[in-house]
Amino acid sequence: MEEPRLSTWERRTEWPMAALAVAFLIAYAWQVLHVSRPQWLHLGLEIVLWVIWVVFAGEYLIRLALAERKIRFIWRHLFDLLAVALPMVRQLRVLRLVTVLRVLNRQASAAFRGRVAIYVAIVTVLVSFCAALAVLDAERSNPDAGIDSFPKALWWTLTTISTVGYGDVYPTTWEGRLVAASLMIGGIALLGVITGMIASWLLERIRAADENLEGAIQQESDDLRAELRTLQAEIRELRRQLSDQEPSPPRPVS
Amino acid sequence: MEEPRLSTWERRTEWPMAALAVAFLIAYAWQVLHVSRPQWLHLGLEIVLWVIWVVFAGEYLIRLALAERKIRFIWRHLFDLLAVALPMVRQLRVLRLVTVLRVLNRQASAAFRGRVAIYVAIVTVLVSFCAALAVLDAERSNPDAGIDSFPKALWWTLTTISTVGYGDVYPTTWEGRLVAASLMIGGIALLGVITGMIASWLLERIRAADENLEGAIQQESDDLRAELRTLQAEIRELRRQLSDQEPSPPRPVS
Amino acid sequence: MEEPRLSTWERRTEWPMAALAVAFLIAYAWQVLHVSRPQWLHLGLEIVLWVIWVVFAGEYLIRLALAERKIRFIWRHLFDLLAVALPMVRQLRVLRLVTVLRVLNRQASAAFRGRVAIYVAIVTVLVSFCAALAVLDAERSNPDAGIDSFPKALWWTLTTISTVGYGDVYPTTWEGRLVAASLMIGGIALLGVITGMIASWLLERIRAADENLEGAIQQESDDLRAELRTLQAEIRELRRQLSDQEPSPPRPVS
Amino acid sequence: MEEPRLSTWERRTEWPMAALAVAFLIAYAWQVLHVSRPQWLHLGLEIVLWVIWVVFAGEYLIRLALAERKIRFIWRHLFDLLAVALPMVRQLRVLRLVTVLRVLNRQASAAFRGRVAIYVAIVTVLVSFCAALAVLDAERSNPDAGIDSFPKALWWTLTTISTVGYGDVYPTTWEGRLVAASLMIGGIALLGVITGMIASWLLERIRAADENLEGAIQQESDDLRAELRTLQAEIRELRRQLSDQEPSPPRPVS
């Protein structure tokens, strides 16, 4: 690791951050799905959401502070910065779920390394749920919107991520279209990640097979070398015999 | 096999289960397509469908009873459990075809192992036929539905699985949307299965090539070793000659 | 080749069949695009189309007669049989273009073997052109159809093969939907063919690399063997020396 | 390089051409997005666009003049010729952006070689931006068009390149459909390029692994050869000893 302080911090905050992300998701889902909630509950959930968002923003700043090469950190974690900074704009509030997904994805990709199918299934379910929540939240402001209930929002999510796109329901507000755009871009990115995973897994297998072969070559070569050593020892023995013999025959000559 | 009793049972019930699945499919298709059927036929088909479903459920319970590690069996066959339990809810009746497809798929994947193209073609035709039947069955309850005949249901299935999704016909009832969701998720899963098949077939070829190479290395190495043995034998012969010689030369000295 | 007579015939009729297919395509395009054609031209084109179709059907029968294992020929060329027999039904007339495409595809896949990109481009252009012609021909019978001109038919083809499917234009007649179904299924099949081509090309490269390696192992092993031979020769020389020496030293003893 | 003069010219004009392409893009975007611009600005931008286009056309002619094998140059750069010649027709004006994208793509593919993800992201953003500009420019002539603002044009671009295609907005003019067609074909081509990139990267890795193996074989073989040389030297030493010995023993015989 090039950044020991940063990676220590990240290892330590992994689980608390994931827990916070889940808490955020629950509070957000409650706010969106429980429409006729009393005023105090609305306020309470709003406070929870803002506090967690502030913690996320603070965590980004701490990681930035811990990083030794700050410019490179910002550049490499540009997406984290956007995910934290953009939702400050009221119209981009729905993007807060992107931060949550990034944190949960970090956990999921660590937990399911090597089991691509399970990882993809979990990420897809999670992303679909978040997208349905966010698009419902966004579209509610428009009385003419087609997406007016959670099942319809889920149906829209499904027709979108499968790229079927019947067009019977589609977002009509700009916030909803932002959610749709994130979903589409995220879907394409996910496809890229999966392709990369499969390719790297294939490569790993090929490399393992090659190492196997290299091991076989080494083994055979060592065997041959051992036989050559035996041969060498026998020849040396021969020379010793000759040397023993040598001193005696010349003598009779002298 | 870790579960000898279970796998013996599964091998024995393979064909009867597939036959039952086909019977279910025929009865279901008859019920959906033959609209103006007399009362007694309707009742008869309904009884056939329920009996077969009960047999499927019973078969799941028997497999569970035969399994030695029950928790793991439930976890590994979670999808089978869902496919058997969910259709009990009246609104999820259309999912009964998923059970049928799972049974038939088990047969097809065994019969067409290695011939990916044929397997994919058969599964796709089967899935499309079942989806068209199920969506027609579901949408019929809605007089305003676009999908009101079997050819239209087939046309809808095709525009959906090709992900074209013109939107000229689409399911409007929740049961129909459930069928659509199963079709889309099944389609994505099928794509995953195919990718996996191609990848594993590629790997198998690479592994075969590597074993070939390892064999070649082994062969060459054995050849070399044989030559070394010949050499060793010749050197030993040399030593024997010298030893024969050795006793005599010293003697003249003495 | 297992069927020498059949393959000789196929090699000989390759170019005439391709020429006939092109002639069919031109006559069909003329018929579809030149709406206000005089009666005699209409009749002439119709005769040309029927004659060529009869030639295609005759060619299939001759190939069947030449085949030694008839059942296997029918099974392996099931698609050819369908492509020749189905258009006899008036409603399936538009499928005649499938026969034409099969003949031209045979030529294209032979001519562009190894250049996947060019092959795919040419097949896609050809298929799109035929689909646009066929759908226009089919939809014309319906006065309310959205596809009422060749540019619109091309636009529809493009939105379909890219699977975008806006739904601004879509086939409304059953014949038009048959064309759409063929296009979608053909598109999926084409994707499969391309994937297979890339996979087999990849495998070929891997195999070539492995043969290279095997050659390298052989080479090195031959080198080593040559050195071992030299060694052996030197040891034999040594033994010869010893043998020369041997007879003399013992003699003084005697 | 087979064409030294041409490649020298291309290397020298790389950056000026990219700068011109960016200037064209800015002028075009200004013209499309700043609707209520004064007459003089409109005229100025139009002149800038035409001048840059003339420079592009001139650059093509210079490259053609520098090429030694002119026919092959035209054939290989057929797409460049189309991109320069087609926009002369007033109705195909929107295709001028294709020229711009070709020039920028040349730069991008050189700058991001090996970093497929970044390259794809940049190309996709660039293509989407250009497509949105072009479709807005084209659709503006139609008062009933659904695409009447830049955000809506971007939304349309996104639903198209993700192949979702809800159909809530779609081009209605032929110029707009031409843009859509270019976008779809470009998207499919981009997918092909990416697949090719991944495949060639995979192959490179396999080849590197094979070279590694070949190196290992060579290394082991060299080691064995070195040991054989030692052996040979020892046997020679033995022969020398015997030869030294040989002259003496015979003497006593004499």
| ipTM here | 0.78
Which chain D residue is nearest to residue B235, measuring alpha carbons? D235
The whole-number pLDDT of residue D95 equals 76
| D246 Cβ contact partners less than 8 Å away, ≥ 6 residues apart | C241, C244, C245
The whole-number pLDDT of residue B205 equals 74
CB within 8 Å: C225 and B230: no
Please give the residue that has the higher pLDDT: either B186 or A147: A147
Q: How far apart are CA B115 and CA B125, in angstroms?
A: 16
Q: How far apart are CA B229 and CA B223, in angstroms?
A: 10
In chain B, % of residues over pLDDT 70 = 93
Q: Give the nearest partner residue to D167 out of B163, B167, B249, using CB atoms.
A: B167
D224 touches chain C (CB under 8 A): yes
**For residue B188, which of B180, B199, B176 has the smallest C-alpha distance?**
B180
Instruction: Report in angstroms the alpha-carbon separations of B51 from B47, B48, B54, B58, C118.
Output: 6, 5, 5, 10, 56
Burial class (CB in 10 A: 0-12, 13-18, 19+), C228: buried
CB within 8 Å: C166 and A166: no
Chain centroid, CA D124 distance in Å: 13
Q: Which chains touch A (3 or more CB pairs under 8 A)?
A: B, C, D
C91 touches chain B (CB under 8 A): no
Interface test with A, best of D147, D164, D201, D224 (most A CBs within 10 A): D164
| Least confident residue range of B47-61, C44-58, C92-106, C129-143 | C92-106
**For residue B161, which of B113, B126, B205 has the smallest C-alpha distance?**
B126
| Shortest alpha-carbon distance between residue D89 and chain B (Å) | 33
Backbone angles phi, psi at D68, to 5 degrees: -80, -40
Instruction: Fill in the DSSP letter of residue B74.
Output: H
Q: How far apart are CA D98 and CA D56, in angstroms?
A: 12
The whole-number pLDDT of residue B113 equals 63
| Least confident residue range of A140-154, B9-23, B198-212 | B198-212
| Least confident residue range of B4-18, B22-36, B98-112 | B98-112
Structure tokens at C113: 């073997």
- Judging contacts by C-beta atoms under 8 Å, the chain A residues touching residue B253 are 248-249, 251-252
Which chain C residue is nearest to residue B199, measuring alpha carbons? C199
Q: How far apart are CA D110 and CA D14, in angstroms?
A: 10
The whole-number pLDDT of residue B158 equals 92
Mean predicted confidence (pLDDT) in C40-47: 90
Which chain B residue is nearest to residue D249, measuring alpha carbons? B249
Dihedral angle computed from the Cα positions of residues A138, A141, A146 and A149, in that order, rounded to the nearest 10 degrees: 70
| D215 Cβ contact partners less than 8 Å away, ≥ 6 residues apart | none
Which chain C residue is nearest to residue B163, measuring alpha carbons? C163
Q: How far apart are CA A4 and CA D117, in angstroms?
A: 27
The whole-number pLDDT of residue D91 equals 67
Interface test with B, best of A120, A124, A158, A162 (most B CBs within 10 A): A162
A3: left (phi over 0), alpha (psi -120 to 50) or beta: beta
Q: How far apart are CA C209 and CA B166, in angstroms?
A: 47
Chain centroid, CA C176 distance in Å: 26
pLDDT at D194 over 80: no
Q: How far apart are CA A153 and CA A29, in angstroms?
A: 13
pLDDT digits (tens, 9 = 90+) for C138-170: 998 888 888 999 999 999 999 998 888 898 999
Q: Tokens 């046309």 identify what position?
A: B155
CB within 8 Å: C242 and D242: yes
| Shortest alpha-carbon distance between residue A187 and chain C (Å) | 16
Residue D55 is which amino acid?
Answer: V
C40 touches chain A (CB under 8 A): no
Which chain D residue is nearest to residue C245, measuring alpha carbons? D246
Q: Tokens 């998923």 identify what position?
A: B98
Structure tokens at D66: 């520098």
Collapsed DSSP state (helix, strand, coil) of residue D246:
coil
C-beta neighbour count of D72 within 10 angstroms = 12
Instruction: Report in angstroms the alpha-carbon separations of B202 from B120, B205, C129, C206, C207.
Output: 17, 5, 35, 10, 12
- Judging contacts by C-beta atoms under 8 Å, the chain B residues touching residue C193 are none
Q: How far apart are CA A177 and CA A32, in angstroms?
A: 18
- Within the 147-176 window of chain A, which residues sit less than 8 Å (CB to CB) from chain C? 163-167
- Within the 199-218 window of chain C, which residues sit less than 8 Å (CB to CB) from chain B? 199, 202-203, 206-207, 210, 213-214, 217-218
Contact predicate D238/C238, CB 8 Å: yes
pLDDT digits (tens, 9 = 90+) for A205-249: 777 777 877 787 788 778 877 877 887 787 777 777 777 765 545
Mean predicted confidence (pLDDT) in D204-210: 75
CB within 8 Å: B231 and C236: no
Q: How far apart are CA A60 and CA B207, in angstroms?
A: 46
In chain A, % of residues over pLDDT 70 = 93
Contact predicate D160/D200, CB 8 Å: no
Mean predicted confidence (pLDDT) in B186-209: 74
In chain A, % of residues over pLDDT 90 = 19
- Judging contacts by C-beta atoms under 8 Å, the chain A residues touching residue C163 are 163
| D175 Cβ contact partners less than 8 Å away, ≥ 6 residues apart | D91, D92, D93, D94, D138, D139, D141
CB within 8 Å: B212 and C217: no
C-beta neighbour count of D2 within 10 angstroms = 9
The whole-number pLDDT of residue C129 equals 92
- Judging contacts by C-beta atoms under 8 Å, the chain B residues touching residue C192 are 117, 120
CB within 8 Å: B166 and D167: yes
Backbone angles phi, psi at B232, to 5 degrees: -60, -45
Contact predicate B177/B147, CB 8 Å: no
Mean predicted confidence (pLDDT) in B219-234: 80
Q: Which of A111-125, A223-237, B56-70, C210-224 has the highest mean pLDDT?
A: B56-70
Q: How far apart are CA B65 and CA B59, in angstroms?
A: 10
Count interface pairs A-B at CB distance under 8 A: 106
Residue A112 pLDDT class (50, 70, 90 cuts)? low
Q: Which of A13-17, A221-225, B23-27, B141-145 has the highest mean pLDDT?
A: B23-27
pLDDT at B29 over 80: yes
Collapsed DSSP state (helix, strand, coil) of residue B4:
helix
Mean predicted confidence (pLDDT) in B54-66: 90
pLDDT at A93 over 80: no
Q: How far apart are CA D219 and CA A225, in angstroms?
A: 13
Count interface pairs A-D at CB distance under 8 A: 107
B197 touches chain C (CB under 8 A): no
Collapsed DSSP state (helix, strand, coil) of residue C2:
coil
Q: How far apart are CA B209 and CA A124, in angstroms?
A: 37
Residue C208 is which amino acid?
Answer: A
| Shortest alpha-carbon distance between residue D105 and chain B (Å) | 29
Instruction: Report in angstroms the alpha-carbon separations of B110 from B9, B16, B79, B105, B106.
Output: 16, 15, 19, 8, 6
Interface test with D, best of C115, C118, C150, C164 (most D CBs within 10 A): C164
Residue D85 pLDDT class (50, 70, 90 cuts)? confident
D88 touches chain A (CB under 8 A): no
Rg (CA), chain B: 32
**For residue B234, which of A243, C3, C235, A4 has the smallest C-alpha distance?**
C235
| C161 Cβ contact partners less than 8 Å away, ≥ 6 residues apart | C124, C127, C128, C131, C183, C187
pLDDT digits (tens, 9 = 90+) for A180-211: 998 998 877 777 777 777 777 777 777 777 78
Structure tokens at C116: 């996947």
Residue C251 pLDDT class (50, 70, 90 cuts)? very low
Interface test with C, best of B147, B158, B164, B201 (most C CBs within 10 A): B164
Please give the residue that has the higher pLDDT: either A136 or C200: A136
CB within 8 Å: B167 and D163: no
Q: How far apart are CA D225 and CA D219, in angstroms?
A: 10
Mean of per-residue pLDDT scores for chain A: 82
- Judging contacts by C-beta atoms under 8 Å, the chain C residues touching residue B198 are 195, 199
Q: How far apart are CA B9 and CA D36, in angstroms?
A: 79
The whole-number pLDDT of residue B114 equals 62
Residue D251 pLDDT class (50, 70, 90 cuts)? very low
CB within 8 Å: A250 and D251: no
